[in-house]
Amino acid sequence: MSTDALDLARTLGLFAATAVAELVGCYLPMLWLTGKASAWLLVPAAISLAAFVWLLTLHPAASGRVYATYGAVYIATALAWLYVVDRVTPTWNDYTGVALALLGACVIALGHRPA
C-alpha cells in the first residue's frame, strides 16, 4: 500500500472514529431526555464527547476544508447509525444524499492538493 493510500486510510479511520464518538455522545443524552434510559448514561456520553473533542485535535489540519470533508464522513456514519442502531433501512434518497456529500468531500479534499 502506498504512503498516500495509507495516509488516506488513516484519515478516513480517524474521521469515522470522530463521527462515532460524536454520535454516541449525542445519542445517549437523547435516550435519557426522552425517558428511555437512566441519567447514568450521561457519564459515558460525557466521556464520548470528550473523546470526540480529543479526536478533533488529531485531524491533519484544523481548517474548514478538513472539517468540511469530515462532515461528509459524519453524514455517512450517521446513515450507518440509522441502520445499525435505530434499525431503520435507509432509502435511495439517503444513499443518494450520502453519495453526493462524499463526492463533494472528494472535490474539496482532492481539488486542493499542494503541487
Listed in sequence order, the residues at least 6 apart from 59 whose beta carbon sits closer than 8 Å to its beta carbon are 11, 14, 15, 18, 66, 67, 70
pLDDT band for position 27 (50/70/90)? Answer: very high
Tell me the percentage of the chain whose pLDDT exceeds 70. 93
Percent of the chain whose predicted confidence (pLDDT) is above 90:
65
- Region at 51 (left for phi over 0; alpha for psi -120 to 50; beta for the rest): alpha
Cα 19 to Cα 10: distance, rounded to the nearest angstrom: 14
Say if CB 22 and CB 49 are below 8 A apart: yes
Residue type, 18: T
Q: Where are the domains of the chain?
A: 3-111
The alpha carbon of residue 29 and the mean position of all alpha carbons in its chain are separated, in whole angstroms, by: 18
Closest CA relative to residue 105, chosen from 76, 62, 82: 76
| Range list of H helices, the chain | 3-33, 42-57, 64-84, 92-111
pLDDT recorded at residue 67: 81
Which pTM was predicted?
A: 0.84
Please give the pLDDT value at position 109: 76
Mean pLDDT, rounded, for 51-74: 84
pLDDT of residue 98: 96
